[in-house]
Chain A
Amino acid sequence: MGTTAKEEMNKFWSKNAKLNRPMSPHITIYKWSVPMMMSITHRGTGVGLSGAISAFALAALVLPGNYPDYLDMIHSLSMGPYLIGLAKFGIAFPVSYHTLNGIRHLWWDLGKGFRIPEVYRTGYTVIGLSIIASIALASL
C-alpha cells in the first residue's frame, strides 16, 4: 500500500521512455531568475571543482616527477602578473562561490530564509561576497 517517491519517479520515467515521448521544453521557455541561475551555478561550480580535483589526483598518479618541478615549469613560462592574477581568480571564484552558496544551502536546511525577499537578499550577498573574496584571494 503506497509507493515510495523513488518508485513513482522510476514509473514516470520508464512509462515516458517506453512511449518514446519527447521532453517538454522547460529551460528553453521558462523565464530565468537569479535564484535559478545561482542554483545551477552552484551545481556547475561543484561539478567543475570535483572534476578538477579528480584530474589533479589522476595526474599525481600518472605523471612522472613531483609537484614543485611542475610549478617551476609553469613559472618559467613567465605569464606576467595579470594572467597569473586572472588564473588565481579563476580558481578562487568557484571555490568562494560554492562555499558561500553552500552556507546559504545549510541555512535553508535549518528551515530559515525561504521568503522570496530573503532568498534574493542572501543570494546577492553570496554573489557580492564571492567576488570580493575572489579578488582578495587572487591578489594574495
Chain B
Amino acid sequence: MAAIVRLSSVCRRGVNPLFYQSTLLARPLVVPHKCQEQPHLLTARIHASQALYASSGSKAASLHWTAERVLSILLLSMGPIAYFNPSPVVDYSLAAALTLHGHWGIGQVLTDYVHGDTKVKMANAGLFLLSTITFAGLCYFNYNDVGICKAIALLWSK
C-alpha cells in the first residue's frame, strides 16, 4: 500500500525522481524551491505500509515488554491474595504466574549473555523445556500434594 509519488510527474522542472521515491521515508515530501508554484499538488505524503517496514516496524518486542510489566504487577498482587485467601485457584494462578515470570526473566538473561544464532536457539530451547517441566511439576504438586500456599505455610510453621 505504498504511495509513491513521482515528483518528476508533478514538478515539470525535471527534479531527480530517485531522491523522492524512497518508500521507506515516512515524512512529508521535501519541496524543492522550484516546485513551490504548485503547492496544491505537493501535499502528498510518501509512506510505507507495515509490511514493508516488517523488521523495523514490528511491535512484538514492545508488546512483550508491556506484557512483562503487567505480569510483574499481577504477581505482586498475588502475594497478599495468597496470604489472606489461599485456595486451589490461587495455587494454580501462582504456578502459572511464577513460571511465566521466571521464563521471561531468564529469557532476558540469555539474550544478554548468549550470542550466536545456534547458541541462542539451543539456550532458548533448553529454557522452554525447563519452564515446561517447572509448570508441570508445580501443577502436579497442586493436584497431588498440599498445594503451593499450604506448602509455604507448613514450611514456615516449623
A interface list, Cβ under 8 A from B? 1-4, 7, 10, 13-14, 17, 43, 46-47, 49-50, 53-54, 56-61, 66-68, 71, 74-75, 84, 88, 99, 102-103, 105-106, 109, 140
Residue of B nearest to A60 (CB): B141
- Per DSSP, chain B at the interface is helix
Asked if B121 is at the interface of the complex by the 8 Å CB criterion, the answer is: no
* Other-chain residue from B55, B73, B79, B158 in contact with A106 (beta carbon distance below 8 A): B73
List residues of chain B with CB within 8 A of the CB of A17.
115-116
Q: Does B155 belong to the interface (CB within 8 Å)?
A: yes
Q: Which residues of B contact A50 (CB under 8 A)?
A: 102, 105-106
Partner of B134 from the list A57, A71, A105, A106 (CB cut-off 8 Å) is: A57
Q: A60-B145, A61-B137, A68-B146 are in contact. List 5 more A-B contacts (CB 8 A).
A: A4-B55, A53-B134, A54-B131, A99-B76, A106-B73
Q: How far is the CA of A10 from the CA of B145 in the complex (A)?
A: 46
Given contacts A66-B145, A67-B145, A67-B146, contact A4 B56 (CB under 8 A): yes
Interface of A: prevailing SS: helix
**B55 to chain A: which residues have CB within 8 Å?**
3-4, 7
Render B44-62 as a binary contact track against A, CB cut-off 8 A, 1 for contact.
0000000000011000000
Instruction: A99 to B79: give the CA distance in the assembly, Å.
Output: 10
Q: Which of A57, A68, A75, A140 touches B138 (beta carbons < 8 Å)?
A: A57
B2 within 8 A of A: no
